[in-house]
Amino acid sequence: MSGPILAIETSCDETAAAVIGRTSEPGRPWTILSSIVASQTAIHREWGGVVPELASRQHVRDICGVVEAALENAGVSAADLSGIAVTQGPGLVGSLLVGVAFAKSFAWSRGLPVVPVHHLAGHIESLVLAHGELPLPSAVLVVSGGHTSLYFIPDTGHYQLVGRTRDDAAGEAYDKVAKLLGLGYPGGPVIDRLAREGNEHAFDFPVARLTHADRNAPKTTAPAGLLPAEVARRVDFSFSGLKTAVLRLVRDLTGAPARGKAADADALGAMLTRQQAADIAASFQRVVVTVLLDRTFEAARWLGARSIGISGGVSANSRLRAEADARSAHYGIPVFVPPLSLSTDNAAMIGAAAMRLIERGAVGDDYGFNAEASLALGQ
C-alpha cells in the first residue's frame, strides 16, 4: 500500500472521511490530504444526547457525499487509492455497521484491501499525525464522551491499557452535569465556556479515591507487574460520585426534595442563578481536570514515560490544555495535545492508525470482520 488510503469513521454521531498519504520524513510519517466531517450535533441536541437509531440513519444519508468530498478535496480518484481504512469499534453498533458495510463494498468493488481500525488507536495516533512521532515510552490519556482510558506506549503501535474509568467517562459526566444545569447538549463546550465566569473554589466536590480492590472487579487495569498494585488502582478513574455530588448540591440550592423522579432533575437548572451555575461548572471542571492530570502524570512517572499525550474530545477543553501545559513545564516532561480539528471524532486519525497497522504487517485482505460495539484495545 504505497499510495494514499481512504479512511472512514462512523462510530457515533460524526460521519467522517479522510485521505491520508505518506511522507518521506521518518519523524512525521503521514500527512492529511483531506478531512471531511459531517456532524449530527444539531440533530441530537433536542434529545439531550445521541439517539442511536437517528445516528445510524443519518450516517446512511451522509456517507456517500462525505466520501466524495474527501476524494475531491484530496485531488485523488478511487483509482489512486491503495486501500481503505474503517473504524471497526468500539461505538454504537448501528453507526459502526454503516461505515463497515460501506468500506467493504467500496473496497471489494475496486479490488482494494480494507483495514479495520480500533477507534481509540485512532485517537492515540492523532497525536503522531499532528506532532510527529512522540518520544517513547509515552503515557497517553484518551478522554471523550464514551471513554476515559490511560495507555502506556512502550514502542510504536503497542498500546497497553493501564487505567480506565470504572463508571462514567469524563465526557459523559460533562454531558450529564450540563443537562442538570439546563445548559443543553453537548455539555463539554458549554461548561468550559460558563466555567470562565465562575469561582472554581466555590464548591468543594469530592474526588473518588480507588485505593482498595473492587470486590466486583478485583484485578487492576494495568498488566500484572507493570505498576505496583496500589498505584495501579490509583490511576483508574471514577466520575459517578462527582456527578451525584453536583445533583445533591443543585437540589440543596433550589430547595428541591432530596428524592424524586429522575426527570425532575432536568428542570432544576432553570431555578439556579447564572452565577450559581457558573460556580458549579467551574468547581466541577476543576475536579475533573485535576483527577485526569493527577493520575496521568502519576502513571507517567512510575512508567518512566518520556512524553505524555492527551487526546479525544475532552482534550479540547481549555482548562485541561492550560493545566497540562503548566504541569509539563513544572515536571519537565513534554505534553502533546492534538489540534481541535483532530480532538473530536474524525477519519484522519483512523487513517493514521491504519497506516501504523500497515507498517506492522496488516495486509487488509480479509473482509470477514464485523463491527464490534465493545472492541477492546490493549487488554
Mean pLDDT over 306-327 rounds to 97
Looking at per-residue pLDDT, the higher value among 218 and 78 belongs to: 78
Based on its alpha-carbon atoms, the radius of gyration of the chain, rounded to whole angstroms, reads: 21
The whole-number pLDDT of residue 173 equals 95
The whole-number pLDDT of residue 116 equals 96
Q: Is the pLDDT of residue 216 over 80?
A: no
The architecture of the domain spanning 5-123+344-359 is 2-Layer Sandwich (3.30)
The whole-number pLDDT of residue 264 equals 58
Spell out the domain ranges in the chain.
5-123+344-359, 136-333
Q: Which DSSP string do the residues of 170-218 spell out, in sequence order?
A: HHHHHHHHHHHTT--SSHHHHHHHHHTTS-TTSS--------S-BTTB-
Give the pLDDT confidence of 263-298 residue by residue, as tens digits.
455 678 888 999 999 999 999 999 999 999 999 999
Mean pLDDT over 309-334 rounds to 97
Mean pLDDT over 108-115 rounds to 95
What mean pLDDT value characterizes the chain? 92
Homologous superfamily, domain 136-333: ATPase, nucleotide binding domain (3.30.420.40)
Lowest mean pLDDT among 2-16, 178-192, 193-207, 252-266: 252-266
Give the pLDDT confidence of 342-355 residue by residue, as tens digits.
999 999 999 999 99
* 3-class secondary structure, 88: strand
The whole-number pLDDT of residue 263 equals 46
Copy the grid coordinates of residue 42.
444539531
Mean pLDDT over 100-113 rounds to 96
The whole-number pLDDT of residue 259 equals 62
Judging by beta carbons within 10 Å of its beta carbon (0-12, 13-18, 19+), is residue 88 exposed, middle or buried? buried
Question: Confidence band (pLDDT; 50, 70, 90) for 211?
Answer: low
136-333 shares the fold of 5-123+344-359: yes
Q: Is the pLDDT of residue 218 over 60?
A: no
The whole-number pLDDT of residue 217 equals 56
Q: Is the pLDDT of residue 15 over 50?
A: yes
Question: Confidence band (pLDDT; 50, 70, 90) for 256?
Answer: confident
The whole-number pLDDT of residue 233 equals 82
